[in-house]
Amino acid sequence: MRVSIILLVYNFILPFIFLVAIPGYVLKIIRRGNYGDAFGERFGVYSKKKKQILRSLDRPLWIHAVSVGEVNVAKKLIIAIRRTRPDISIVLSTATPTGASIARNSEASVVIYHPLDFIFISTRAFDLISPRALILTEAEVWPNLVNKSVRRGIEVSLINARLSPRSERRFKRFGFLAKPIFGLLSRVCVQHQSDMKSWESLGVPKSKIYFTGSIKFDSEWNSEPNNLTLLKDILSKLFKGREKKVILAGSTHSGEESLIGKVYLELRDKFPELYYLMAPRHVERKHDLVNELRSKGLNPVLRTELESQETDSLDSYDCLVIDTTGELNAWYYASDIVVIGKSFLAQGGQNPVEAIFAEKPVLLGPNMQNFASLTSDLIAKGGVMQAKDEVELVERISELLENPEIGGTLSQNANLALSLHKGASDRTAELIINW
């Protein structure tokens, strides 16, 4: 009864939220250019070809992963599932163009855009897919979709579940709304043992909570990216064959590129072999970013413009803006020192694990709230360096450049700290397929 009342309120409010969100969504379409791809799929409307594919699948697993990070988790899980159950069909849904692009390179049977959580839309998609189980990634718990699954006797798993301190506080504040929905979940697979009590406090029975470790931190299938040689060739062309030490700022947010750029300019006087790469979280900012960097005394070039540049002109550029998608992991391997974005001038931080897997020394800013447990563990084990501001960032990078052995120790300690999560993909897959 309580769930019914909550859903009634949710479905009453949802259209108003949707109307408020429309202007922002239209703006995204305009700015990103491809955000309207397969627009109809978000409303449960599919092309004839995709309908045929979906109807041909025999009770598939339906895995939802909202964007790039979650899709990479889903890809690892799918590999683990395929190892023991190659016969199972898998539908992989995502919510962003970048997520969809990466999802298409997975072992999923078909990739779709996730339907909006309106009753009639989720019902339409559900009827077409007819899944044997629904698997949600990290924090994507959609009330109508979850309720639809449970009413039809279909298990719903939340895998690689995470709770930022902010999310936990918000859910607890509105616990009377959140707890009944979370209580519908068949199982919750958490990344850290410390998360188990948090999910229990949010209405998930203790018997349904499993510590599996983080799939995102599972290095079992980690290997050098296929495009690493291409990126190294790009840098060789840019550097004209000269040896450089590359500082990469990954998944940066507004203002961080300039902050780290200021650090770079200060360091370059002492270390002239330095070169600065940055990968903004939102590539649609690239032209504004180029102008901003030029105003700070830097001369950047866009990754997508390199091929059109004359070789003789490359000497004039002192930093590279990576305005492509799906390449960041490979750029970590091509770099020497990595600074994690969203950790200096924004809240939450970005995931440092891919850089750690690339065996690079990693520097964090003070704001890593979204990865609080991981950050604490890495710092405690001497696996990363943290800088509270640009002054400390200069000191930390100088230390790494003057004593390269420190970087090797950081990398070794960080990978040791992550060893707890090795096999997380297999553990999660085993729980899901043994329904």
Rounded distance between C-alpha atoms, residue 389 and residue 265, angstroms: 16
For residue 345, the model assigns a pLDDT of 93
* Tally of CB atoms within 10 A around 183: 15
For residue 221, the model assigns a pLDDT of 62
Rounded distance between C-alpha atoms, residue 13 and residue 316, angstroms: 55
For residue 405, the model assigns a pLDDT of 97
DSSP lists the bridge partners of residue 246 as 275
For residue 36, the model assigns a pLDDT of 58
339: three-class secondary structure by DSSP: strand
- In this prediction the pTM is 0.79
Rounded distance between C-alpha atoms, residue 238 and residue 306, angstroms: 8
Strand 209-211 vs strand 187-190: parallel, antiparallel, or unpaired? parallel
Nearest to 109 by CA among 156, 43, 58: 58
Domains of the chain and any CATH numbers? 2-216 (3.40.50.11720), 228-420 (3.40.50.2000)
- The encoded tokens of residue 385 equal 């360096």
* Tally of CB atoms within 10 A around 99: 25
* Tally of CB atoms within 10 A around 356: 27
Beta-carbon-side half-sphere exposure of residue 365 (alpha carbons within 13 Å): 27
- The encoded tokens of residue 393 equal 């960032």
Contact 386, 364 (CB under 8 A): yes
For residue 64, the model assigns a pLDDT of 96
69: three-class secondary structure by DSSP: helix
Nearest to 339 by CA among 397, 416, 404: 397
Mean pLDDT in runs of 10 for the chain (435 residues)?
Answer: 84 86 69 66 91 94 92 94 94 91 92 93 92 93 93 95 82 83 95 89 94 89 83 90 94 96 96 96 92 95 84 82 91 97 93 94 95 91 97 98 96 93 94 80
CA angle 328, 359, 420 (to 5 degrees): 105
Rounded distance between C-alpha atoms, residue 221 and residue 2, angstroms: 44
For residue 420, the model assigns a pLDDT of 85
Nearest to 372 by CA among 177, 194, 178: 194
Buried b (16+ CB within 10 A) or exposed e, 65-81: bbbbbbbbbbbbbbbbb
DSSP lists the bridge partners of residue 247 as 276, 337
Rounded distance between C-alpha atoms, residue 244 and residue 232, angstroms: 12
Q: Enumerate long-range contacts of 281-288, CB under 8 Å, 24 or more apart.
A: 281/251, 281/252, 281/253, 281/341, 281/342, 281/350, 282/253, 283/323, 283/324, 283/325, 284/31, 284/32, 284/33, 285/254, 286/321, 286/323
Contact 134, 155 (CB under 8 A): yes
Contact 78, 107 (CB under 8 A): yes
* Tally of CB atoms within 10 A around 15: 10
